[in-house]
A and B are shown apart, each in its own frame.
Chain A
Amino acid sequence: MSDTLQQTNGYAQLAADVLARAKACGATEADIVVADGETFSVQVRVGVVDRLSKAREKRLGLRVFVGKRSACTSTSDFSIESLHRLVDETCTLAKAVVADEVSGLPDASQMAAAWPDLDLYDSTKLNPDHQIELAKRAEAAAMAADQRITNSEGADFDSSSGRVVLGNSHGFIGEYRSSSFSLAVSPIATDPASGGMQRDSWYEVQRKFLKLSTPESIGQEAARRTLRRLGGRKVATKRVPVIFDQETAGSLLGNLCSAVSGYGLYKRASFLLDQLGNRIASDLITVYDDGRMFGGLGSRPFDGEGLATRKNTIVERGVLKSYLLDTYSGKKLGLASTGNASRSVGESPSVGPTNFYLVPGSKSPQEMIASVKDGLYVTELIGFGINMVTGDYSRGACGYWIENGELAYPVEEITIAGNLKQMFQDIEMVGNDLVFRSRVASPTLKLAELMVAGN
């Protein structure tokens, strides 16, 4: 990595050259993203190395505007002649599409001027043997946890680091580095009675290597989650209270995040259309999106258009306070950007969360389970049965059945169904157990009632 990181000035110069060339080709505005990075991944399975993988990559994305027409291109070939050809092609492409009155860069006055170091980068370089050792220890801890752990899909240790450079024709140029270290373990347990197998997993991702939990603790948690699925059964079809654990509550919050994204809204493809200022959830619900959390997995100093990131209140005590917007979707809705432009190299900006989280409540997960006489505790959701236009929700689930306030037995091959509009209103308890394991995070949530389909 060190040799490419030395090229910082090179990339700034490259960006300036490409932007100048675009202008010469007739572009009225343009922006450019350069991303490079390095990833090293190891996978061990049943104690031996299964796969080692090393990647280095770089990409450049260009967006040009010719008046109100625009196009995007990207390439991994940074040679001068190739980049010049790319600029020419991009301008030609832009001239071929239809003018879109609201298109364009953000106003020059909106560009981020200075930003703090958000502590997203750790220069630690692990050698292959060290990574292999960590993965082996995690898997071994899972395998040793119980005799019923009989097999493994493996343990993965990935480390990556990279850099993003963004520049535009307003003269903005920004750069930041980030890194991540992750360890995941997927053990398999066999039911001694039926011979049926179950797999589950546990993982952790951190920006800093030293923040990772011990491999043993990650392996043991993976084993615990796998073992508790053994002996799962179907249940009768009925309407009951449902508790979503942290992982599945995070998935539910992710659905809310999609529904408040500006692009779905202006296309009239969100069930939260025209709801700004209205009560859309139970008054226990407050949601923030904070792009400036130190070391956060979703943190970034500026967004995909060069605007400063910030902390936005999305939902306050059940009332929808803000959408997630970039410049384009904001203009379509008559609103200002919230600094949530998300940029894949080679695509025009879209909207994405930074650190999108639901503020924890006062109840422990145990208290929440104790409040349910007959109901479901969901630990995994599968499938794509979510209609963002209508909010209709129907997904495969597994977890535990709750009887008289206690987890009674594992359940599987069931679905849960409702409508997201109602589901957020029906949240009647919020747990005190918020942990930032990914960029969208929620504590445990209890919903008054959902239809569970089984036998």
Chain B
Amino acid sequence: MSDSVQLARFGMTDLEVRHALDRLNVRDVDYADLYFESRVSESVSMEEGIVKRAAKSISQGVGVRATAGEKTGFAYSDELTKKDLEIAADTARYIANSPKGDRGLPVPVQRRPTKDLYPIERAKAEVATADRVALLNAIDAEARRYDPRIKNVLASFNTEYKVVVVATSDGTLIGDVQPLSRLQVTCIAEENGNRQVGSFGGGGRVGFKFYHDEERYIEYAREAAREAILNLSAVDAPAGVMPVVLGGGWPGILLHEAIGHGLEADFNRKKTSAFSSLIGKRVASDVCTIVDDGTLPFRRGSLNMDDEGTPTGRTVLIEKGILRGYITDKLNARLMGIPLTGNGRRESYQSVVLPRMTNTFMLAGESDPAEILKSVKRGLYAVTFGGGQVDITSGKFVFSASEAYLIEDGKITKPVKGATLIGNGPEILTKVSMVGHDLKLDNGIGTCGKDGQSVPVGVGLPTLKIDEITVGGTQR
């Protein structure tokens, strides 16, 4: 970020913002903030060998919030005038239902984030449509070259350029520019009436050059094609309890679903999480140490500051198997009296702040990945996954493999069709017996949904072995 982001960008003055915050300063309101956001999203997509769609969307608005005890009042507007701010503020403070407060608010001081994790000049983020089209054409050609059985290639390139300014009743005025992009490839392979699909993609808070560096776009095309071709020969997946080896990187979705959501502070404050009373207790085997880290440069889940203006950080969730901490936003940190971790996030100015993950991963262990596979007599080796979901309260979670193999006598044998894995969050990591030394972060494709809000996230995992988990295939 080259200059600090100013309110002027939103046609507002410091004085107008102070006035709005002051309007929210009624007795019983503990905290209030204004979140200004402008976002430009662009996408191009191709199918059947032609880039046939291009789209661009522009949105701008302000979210106004006040909290009083456990209560939150919230309103938003896509009009940025003094009058609209006042209406929104009056709605937000309705929850407090109390007279004007007598304490003065600190004067907001303009600050800049202390770090710059995604230094991309605007000029570099802007790419000519023709260049995007050329990238997708090259991907289509590469995937079809990989194997003539690839019959269709669906590819899309999406970028987002978001500018935010947060003004808070605790005296912060801070802005950030948050670029984000993603390239996604899906291939459909056909052979004698058997049709299969393969997908691959990546991205992050990166510029267009990222996709050309190390010929990543070529890798994406080949990987999507390879998975589709591989699945042509996949056999039905087994059903029942068995050992499962997870590959590195994206299979870290296990951590996100099995424990990550359960450690978000809101569920724990309300005591609705299966992890509610487990701080200091063993929830994983001692080879497991898991962190949430929003400070990794250029990563999809990273942020210089969260959406309340708090610097992001690295939070140890599980240390050698012991549950250490929750991830928090201001409301829940205050109500629970626990540290603020910089995890207050929102999808847009139209949504409320919730404690959310950033990049969640397990630290590398000491095992050789080859030894991990060798230790399994009969089981599943799962290397790519689709989505996952968790029931926070019961702790039950699922995640679905899209590329997996049978392990027989320590060797990878046949590819198997995708299958859902199901387990219990507070238990599953106690069954992790080996963790590889090969920690890998995912390629930057994750989107997490909670309360109807989507935010970009990252995950990571070394190769690891779960001694037993239920695999939802169709074969005994």
Distance in Å from the Cβ of B388 to the closest Cβ of chain A? Answer: 7
Q: How large is the interface on B (under 10, 10 to 19, 20 to 34, 35 or more residues)?
A: 35 or more
Contact present for A384 and B400 (CB under 8 Å): yes
| A268, B393: Cα distance in complex, Å | 39
Contact present for A346 and B57 (CB under 8 Å): yes
| A199, B267: Cα distance in complex, Å | 12
B60, B386, B389, B470: the one within 8 Å of A76 (CB)? B60
Chain B hits for A50, CB < 8 A? 70-72
Contact present for A348 and B55 (CB under 8 Å): yes
- Which residue of A72, A229, A398, A413 has the most chain B CB atoms within 10 A of its CB atom? A413
Contact present for B389 and A383 (CB under 8 Å): yes
Residue-by-residue, is B444-476 near A (CB-CB < 8 Å gives 1, otherwise 0)?
Answer: 000000000000000000000000001111111
The residue in chain B whose Cβ has the minimal distance to the Cβ of A61 is: B57
Chain A hits for B60, CB < 8 A? 76-77
Contact present for A384 and B386 (CB under 8 Å): yes
Residue-by-residue, is B255-296 near A (CB-CB < 8 Å gives 1, otherwise 0)?
Answer: 000000000000000111010000000000000000000000
Distance in Å from the Cβ of A271 to the closest Cβ of chain B? Answer: 8
Contact present for A100 and B50 (CB under 8 Å): yes
Q: Which one of A7-15, A91-99, A312-320, A351-359 is at the B interface? A: A91-99
Known contacts A72-B55, A416-B472; 13 further A-B pairs (Cβ under 8 A): A54-B75, A73-B57, A99-B50, A151-B271, A188-B272, A234-B470, A389-B188, A389-B196, A394-B473, A396-B396, A413-B396, A451-B474, A455-B240
A196, A267, A347, A396: the one within 8 Å of B47 (CB)? A267
| A153, B422: Cα distance in complex, Å | 23
> For the complex, is A453 an interface residue (Cβ under 8 Å from B)?
yes
Contact present for B272 and A98 (CB under 8 Å): no
Q: Which residues of B contact A (CB under 8 A)?
A: 44, 47-48, 50-61, 70-78, 88, 91-92, 94-95, 129-130, 133, 151-152, 154, 188, 190, 195-197, 237, 239-241, 270-272, 274, 350, 352, 386-394, 396-400, 417-420, 422-424, 470-476
Contact present for B55 and A346 (CB under 8 Å): yes
Distance in Å from the Cβ of A126 to the closest Cβ of chain B? Answer: 14
Q: Using A96-B129, A396-B422 as known contacts, say yes or no to A55 and B240 having CB atoms under 8 A apart.
A: no
Contact present for B55 and A73 (CB under 8 Å): yes
Contact present for A86 and B470 (CB under 8 Å): no
- Interface secondary structure of A, over-half rule: strand
Q: Using A394-B472, A413-B470 as known contacts, say yes or no to A93 and B57 having CB atoms under 8 A apart.
A: no
A55, A103, A394: the one within 8 Å of B400 (CB)? A394
| A74, B234: Cα distance in complex, Å | 43
Chain A hits for B154, CB < 8 A? 267, 269
> For the complex, is A240 an interface residue (Cβ under 8 Å from B)?
no
Contact present for B72 and A453 (CB under 8 Å): no
Chain B hits for A97, CB < 8 A? 44, 51-54, 129, 133
Contact present for A395 and B55 (CB under 8 Å): no
Chain A hits for B419, CB < 8 A? 385, 394, 415, 417
| A186, B66: Cα distance in complex, Å | 25
Contact present for B422 and A413 (CB under 8 Å): yes
Q: Which residues of A contact B (CB under 8 A)?
A: 45, 48-59, 70-77, 86, 89-90, 93-94, 96-100, 103, 128, 151, 153, 188, 196-199, 229, 232, 234, 237, 267-269, 273, 346-348, 382-385, 387, 389-390, 392, 394-396, 398, 412-419, 451, 453-455
A-B contact pairs, 9 of them (CB 8 A): A72-B55, A86-B58, A89-B56, A197-B272, A197-B394, A267-B188, A385-B398, A385-B419, A451-B239
| A229, B391: Cα distance in complex, Å | 13
| A415, B151: Cα distance in complex, Å | 32
| A128, B91: Cα distance in complex, Å | 10
Contact present for B391 and A199 (CB under 8 Å): yes
B59, B390, B399, B474: the one within 8 Å of A418 (CB)? B474
Contact present for B470 and A49 (CB under 8 Å): no
The residue in chain A whose Cβ has the minimal distance to the Cβ of B70 is: A50
Chain A hits for B472, CB < 8 A? 385, 394-396, 414-417, 451, 453
